Structure 1
Amino acid sequence: MRILHTMLRVGNLDRSIDFYTQVLGMRVLRRQDYPEGRFTLAFIGYQEESEGAVIELTHNWDTGQYELGTAYGHIALEVGDAYATCEQVKARGGKVVREAGPMKHGTTVIAFVEDPDGYKIEFIQRAT
């Protein structure tokens, strides 16, 4: 068994795709409209689906916004330099909600950004 993808419901698919591709550097792997069901699925990631886990963005055409709830945590991405990655995100118009620095009660360097729908993405700096 392996993890295939994580699904996020988004209110504006184009805005979300722009964030994940332009701000975080992922690419659209596939996208399909389902007119009878009134939804679109877009799969994005850094690798092909056969090589690693990806994110499925689900856009229900009649829903412009979702409540995130209190159970959702975050998606974690490994980065080489969390400080530099935060600066790149800000330069590309992204929102850093926790600047890079050591985690509480530890030494691992982390940071958090937020996508257009409010989902949190954690950057974990690769140990050297």
Structure 2
Amino acid sequence: MHVKFLHTMVRVTDLEKSMAFYGLLGLNEIRRRDSDTGRFTLVYLAADGDHDCPLELTHNWDGDEGLPSDGRHFGHLAYEVGNIYDMCQKLKDAGVEINRPPRDGRMAFVRSPDNISIELLQKGDALPPAEPWISMASTGHW
């Protein structure tokens, strides 16, 4: 029996705001589907060269009261990054709160505009611990 992973779907309340957030992570739109009868938009995002397992953003045009307020309808999304310190600084400079800073040079957590937990993992070996990350406290939950 053949099984192939296709994509991960998350529901979003503000499509443009969510696309801007995931764009900061390096994900770009690879395809889109608007359904006038279903009143929803599906946007598929992927990193360059990684179109095999995209992230699907589902936006219901009439709102989505079914979304949990804490964004924990599943565990988290995880992305490997080339330099975790540079990525966290880029996100922080764009106003994204770093919930779990990369104090260990290996792992950090942030939240999307829809409160979805995003894990960032350093590609390869952990980077040497560095400021300001070593001294930064965790905030909220992830």
Query: Do both share a fold (TM > 0.5)?
Result: yes
Moved beyond 2 Å, runs of 4+? 68-71, 92-95
Structure number with higher strand proportion? 1
Of 110, 115, 122, which aligns to 2:112?
A: 115
In the other structure, the counterpart of 2:17 is: 15
Q: Is the 8 A contact 1:29 1:48 kept in 2?
A: no
Say how many residue pairs are matched. Answer: 121
Percent sequence identity is: 39
**Unpaired runs of 5+ in structure 2?**
126-142
Q: CA deviation at 1:64?
A: 4.6
Return the TM-score normalized by structure 2: 0.76
Q: Is the 8 A contact 2:7 2:54 kept in 1?
A: yes
Secondary structure of 1:101 counterpart? coil
Q: CA RMSD in A?
A: 2.0
Residue range with higher mean Cα deviation, 83-92 or 60-69: 60-69
From the CA coordinates, give the structure whose radius of gyration is larger: 2
**Unpaired runs of 5+ in structure 1?**
103-107
Per the alignment, do residues 114 and 44 of structure 1 end up closer, same or farther by CA in structure 2, a change over 3 Å counting? Answer: same
Secondary structure of 1:9 counterpart? strand
